[in-house]
Amino acid sequence: MSRGHQPWKGGWRGASSPERRRHRTGHNGDVESLQGHLLVASPGLLDPNFRRAVVLVTEHTEEGAAGLVLNRPSPVAVAGAVPQLEPVVDDGDQVWVGGPVQPEAVLVLGEFLDPDDAAVPLFGALGFPSLTEPEEIVPVTTRRRVFAGYAGWGVGQLEAEVADEDWILEPALPDDAFTEEPEELWRDVLRRKGGIYELVARMPEDPRVN
């Protein structure tokens, strides 16, 4: 994992202007920049950081890639961990583990009424707000989620992992980032992709279980 993509005011440098290019990605076919796609961990990906993870790619350029794991809620409340962001979320909302890189870094993912209000636009209405004035985030967004850490890849690393079929690709939907059933997100996205992936979604987490 690359540590070259540093969070700043709720985003990553360059996230708003990825270079568009096509990648050969094994059974996933040819795709352009993976920003705005989900990386769904294949059943054979056993790294504990990403086992059955669903990752939203927030940046993908020639310099590497970055993203947020969407289905790893932590038991820690935002109010206790980052009290300055308590006004941004609903009472009792927890911090989500965005990935293993810089776990002390905090980012807010928001769904904006006007995407132009995002400090770093991602896709559709999703983006990263500036964290300079947290109280200004709520009026311009409909949903928000606080993440600690992120996932990062160095030059060519994500392309290689996708070509090796460590990841299954699927275009992201806004609701994916704000799932209320994180334990079901991996299966839900695979079922949505359809075909053979509906069978993959039924695989037990422990392969020894029939």
Taking every pair of Cα atoms in the chain, the longest distance, rounded to a whole number of angstroms, is 52
pLDDT at 205: 77
Are 170 and 193 in contact by the 8 Å Cβ rule? The answer is: yes
pLDDT at 15: 31
pLDDT at 92: 93
pLDDT at 1: 35
pLDDT at 25: 42
Secondary-structure class of domain 7-200 per CATH? alpha beta
pLDDT at 35: 95
Distances (CA, A) of 165 to 50, 56, 65: 14, 17, 17
Q: Which residues of the chain have pLDDT under 50?
A: 1-30, 209-210
Cα–Cα dist 189/41, whole Å: 11
Are 58 and 15 in contact by the 8 Å Cβ rule? The answer is: yes
pLDDT at 207: 56
pTM (predicted TM-score): 0.84
pLDDT at 20: 32
Domains of the chain, residue spans: 7-200
Distances (CA, A) of 163 to 148, 151, 158, 160: 28, 18, 8, 5
pLDDT at 4: 34
